[in-house]
Amino acid sequence: MDNLSEQIKSLRNEYSDLDLLLEDLSKNPIQQFRKWLDEAIETKIYEPNAMVLATSNNEMPRSRYVLFKNIIEDKIIFHTHYESPKALEIFSNPNVSGIFYWAEIHRQVRFQGIAKKASSKISDEYFASRPRGGQLSAWASYQSRLISSRDDVTKKIDELNEKYKNQEIPRPDFWGGFEIDIQYWEFWQGRRNRTHDRFCYTQNNSGWDIERMSP
């Protein structure tokens, strides 16, 4: 344990000298997020759309990575099993928070908002765009429930594949999208000597207040 402690203490990576200035920021946080996401994609970061999603139920917080798949009417969209723990927690308490972290370009985006079930149209369109294997796995997996072995899932996939042979696979009612209406955004740019640049967007009646934060 002592050796591990010393190893952790020795971990220290320096960041860049890239500035983030108020005049560089879009007045709309969604536009700022799109700009940074485009740059993360151009940098070829692995799964730049991966975000940590935090939910809470009975005052017990839980978090996990999910992949966001679209921005529709300024809302972030992700998809999941509607009977999964994360979905049930959202139905019980729609307040969520999340983080995107793009280490290669020393950037983090944090948000807080309200999540709700997306429309059937949004869910259907995305499900239809998934590879066939992903469609079958959505049917076969009862997300987060205990199973005896991987065979429980693979056998179900084989059965479904035969059932829908030469057919389009419909979206199951228990699987679909959520949309997050974000009321708070925070943009962090890592800089040398931990003098990071941070700005937050807070929603007001007419738009967004943008303020600089201490590192």
Express each pLDDT in 169-183 by its tens digit.
999 999 999 999 999
First to last CA, the chain: 31
The residues spanned by each domain of the chain are: 16-130+173-213
> 97 or 152: which carries more pLDDT confidence?
97
For range 84-99, the mean pLDDT: 97
Q: How many CB atoms lie within 10 A of CB 213?
A: 12
- Residue in this structure with the two tokens 């294997």, named with its chain if needed: 133
Express each pLDDT in 63-72 by its tens digit.
999 999 999 9
Least confidently predicted of 1-5, 40-44, 116-120, 142-146: 1-5
Note if 150 is an active site residue: no
Of 91, 115, 111, residue with least CA distance to 51: 111
Give the torsion sign (CA, 164, 169, 173, 176).
positive
CATH class as words, domain 16-130+173-213? mainly beta
For range 93-116, the mean pLDDT: 97
In the set 12, 110, 194, 198, the catalytic residue is: 194
Question: Is residue 179 exposed (0-12), middle (13-18) or buried (19+ Cβ within 10 Å)?
Answer: buried
